[in-house]
Chain A
């Protein structure tokens, strides 16, 4: 059985390293460092799930999520928002943009894996 293909977008390389450390063995993980690159990559190869950082320069994660969730053929892809912005209002904004799940940094292995598994199940 093929591994699920997961696309992660974050401008902070340290964060991408952490995600790779956590998920690379169980999933087919690809990393991009901006929202624009993320959308480009999604259109190239449709992932089974997207991990999206919120704070990115130029286009941020919320905008990218909204765009994907409003694009025919892409909208069914589950999007998990990853953010250090931890207030309730911020989480609400993430959900409004169409995100399927919202995980606050810092998170541990089980937090993210549970979220991914519940969305891919």
Chain B
């Protein structure tokens, strides 16, 4: 294993493709989703609950205010009832009344609250002589109680028809009636009177009153509302304000000394309309619940009370109060409160007994401040938490995934970039470790495979080397040629300057062989069924020597059978070729020797036959020289002559052939008639023809067939062919001869009905020293006749050949040009 690694080609993944980046983004998105969903949860589930709680809290605060007010009022109420009860038991003595009543009313510590009070007997009840006999004390400028006798004046309206007196006639003992609010004649402070009935044995005998200043109630309201962050006001059953916060929004709150009505304020500013509508709604309910008879009585008896108010007074209706939240009536939102100048929430409470309604107006901002605060806090925690989780996740992710991932990738890059088989190291036994382990195993397998491949390649290379074989791959599509070292060596080309294309190979091939080689190769490529192809050709080496190359290739074809590539081997077969040609030469020499031996044997035979004749007949002559007749002797000499002639003919043939072989044969070209020549030859052989009972049919022998040729030599050819025909013709057969002149060619054919030429001998019968096997069977001959014929025809630049007839016999042909130039 190598220690110094080659420079690694580091390849970074595009950030938008990176799995790690994607995972990080997904974690981020997930956490953002968690944040959003928890926020939605907060807003939809938690905040309404908080809102409700906050609502309940406000209602509770409102109830506390009501309770505080009622507590204040109950003091006055109790005082009024006590005063009424006392009246029933007190002696009707003016002195007692004047002494007792102020003492009861003037309670220490409540001077600011209780403005006055008194007893108000029914007409003639205290004194049978006086109709109006009230005992009333009120506070003067110095806030001390003074007795006022105004209502007892006979000139005035008296008190029996006052608004605060009439309704009390119709309520039971220990109950009170709360009057309209009005202004203190001295301080102009708003005030209200609580009236309690005095019953004497089921008989209404008068009423007790306690006047209270409403400043205290205003104070309670103001203090409470400061805490709540809004403002509050109280209206009585007629919609008349009992308290209203100080303000300067341009509203006229007073009618004279007194507070005005809600309707008047609404008239001035329409924003108060919801309050007015709510009061109207409650009054509507009250009217439904009212006692009409009583209302009429009250309206009739009091000059201050109209029927409408009397109806409300007669009603026992009290607005429905939410049982959970004491005194709470209802609530609504107001888009723009005229005083707070913002969106506000209004809550209405009933102040029991009094038929008053307390309104608490809280700005929504302050109302929701808790909710907002809570939301802020929770959101802060969420964001912090999510950020922390994200941070931790990123760190964990980095340690668990990113680092091992990058570590592995870096190692893989190093391992793969290296030419060596490097293992990668990963110590942990987690999934990455497993990945590394299996990668290493694959690396080992690859290494092993490569070793095996290398071994087998070296075996193959050894085999190729030992065979002196070079490889080649030729991509037909790309015209790219790929040779190995040995191929370059075989072709004796420089690998560096060799352009690996088809034309380069073409240039290497011997010019005499290229056409054939290229043609053979192209034919093989185009023949769709050919997959194996081999050829041999010569190449010319740089030093001019010739080398034989054998190429053996396998052709790769596509589905359509079109060759796209081929590959195979180059072999230097020069030695084989040399051996082959040597062998051929040797065989040729041997054949030549054999032919010569055979020729000599034939010559010997042919020489023996006439020699035998000469010797035999000469010995007969010698033997019979004394006794033999002249005729007999003549016969002997004739036969000796024939044999001698035969011998001479044979010797002439031999001489001719040796002349042809030496190239010394000359042709004497003269214009002659071929048909005439044929006729002479036939005539010369008439004896043999007659002997063999053979006829000759010479077609159109009278018409001249003229041409330029050597008459003597050509007659030699014709005689030879005729002699052969006669020799091979059985008795009573015909020899057909035809001559012709066409297209500047003289043609001759001779056809016999003999044994024909054995197959396989057509090419050799014209060779010198070769005789037909048929001839060898006994027809005899020198084996030179046809060879001489061929030489003569060649000398005329013509052709001679033979073939067998369809039936029996052979046919010999020759053609020569009509005008052969002299040689």
Residues 77-121 of A at the B interface (beta carbon under 8 Å): 83-87, 104-109
Partner of A17, one of B601, B619, B639: B639
B233 touches A (CB below 8 Å): no
* Distance in angstroms between the alpha carbons of A22 and B619 in the assembled complex: 11
Residues of A within 8 A of B38 (CB): none
Interface string of B628-647 (1 = CB under 8 A from A): 00000000000100110000
Residues of A within 8 A of B5 (CB): none
Interface string of B601-618 (1 = CB under 8 A from A): 100111011011101110
Residues of B within 8 A of A53 (CB): 778
Tell me whether A18 and B605 are in contact in the complex, defined as CB-CB below 8 angstroms, given that A11-B778, A56-B777, A57-B778 are known contacts: no
A55 touches B (CB below 8 Å): yes
* Distance in angstroms between the alpha carbons of A61 and B619 in the assembled complex: 26
The reply to whether B608 and A105 form a contact with Cβ atoms under 8 Å apart is: yes
Residues of A within 8 A of B606 (CB): 84
Residues of A within 8 A of B777 (CB): 55-60
The reply to whether A12 and B609 form a contact with Cβ atoms under 8 Å apart is: yes
* Distance in angstroms between the alpha carbons of A18 and B682 in the assembled complex: 29
Residues of A within 8 A of B643 (CB): 14
How many A-B residue pairs have C-beta atoms within 8 angstroms? Tell me: 78
A15 touches B (CB below 8 Å): yes
* Distance in angstroms between the alpha carbons of A80 and B207 in the assembled complex: 201
The reply to whether A21 and B620 form a contact with Cβ atoms under 8 Å apart is: yes
The reply to whether A86 and B779 form a contact with Cβ atoms under 8 Å apart is: no
Q: Considering only CB atoms and an 8 Å cut-off, how many residues of chain B contact the other chain? A: 28
* Distance in angstroms between the alpha carbons of A56 and B620 in the assembled complex: 25
The reply to whether B619 and A14 form a contact with Cβ atoms under 8 Å apart is: no
Interface string of B681-699 (1 = CB under 8 A from A): 0000000000100000000
* Distance in angstroms between the alpha carbons of A58 and B729 in the assembled complex: 10
Interface string of B778-811 (1 = CB under 8 A from A): 1110000000000000000000000000000000
The reply to whether A84 and B608 form a contact with Cβ atoms under 8 Å apart is: yes
* Distance in angstroms between the alpha carbons of A18 and B606 in the assembled complex: 17
* Distance in angstroms between the alpha carbons of A58 and B604 in the assembled complex: 22
The reply to whether B642 and A106 form a contact with Cβ atoms under 8 Å apart is: no
Interface string of A22-46 (1 = CB under 8 A from B): 1000000000000100000000000
A54 touches B (CB below 8 Å): yes
The reply to whether A106 and B616 form a contact with Cβ atoms under 8 Å apart is: yes
Tell me whether A84 and B609 are in contact in the complex, defined as CB-CB below 8 angstroms, given that A60-B777, A61-B778 are known contacts: yes
Sample 24 A-B pairs with CB under 8 A, ordered by A number: A11-B778, A13-B691, A14-B639, A14-B642, A18-B612, A18-B613, A54-B778, A55-B778, A55-B780, A56-B777, A57-B774, A57-B778, A57-B779, A58-B778, A60-B776, A84-B606, A84-B612, A85-B605, A104-B608, A105-B609, A105-B611, A106-B608, A108-B619, A109-B619
- A-binding residues in B (CB < 8 A): 601, 604-606, 608-609, 611-613, 615-617, 619-620, 639, 642-643, 691, 727-728, 730, 755, 774, 776-780
The 6 closest A-B pairs by CB, nearest first: A56-B778, A84-B608, A106-B612, A55-B778, A105-B612, A57-B779
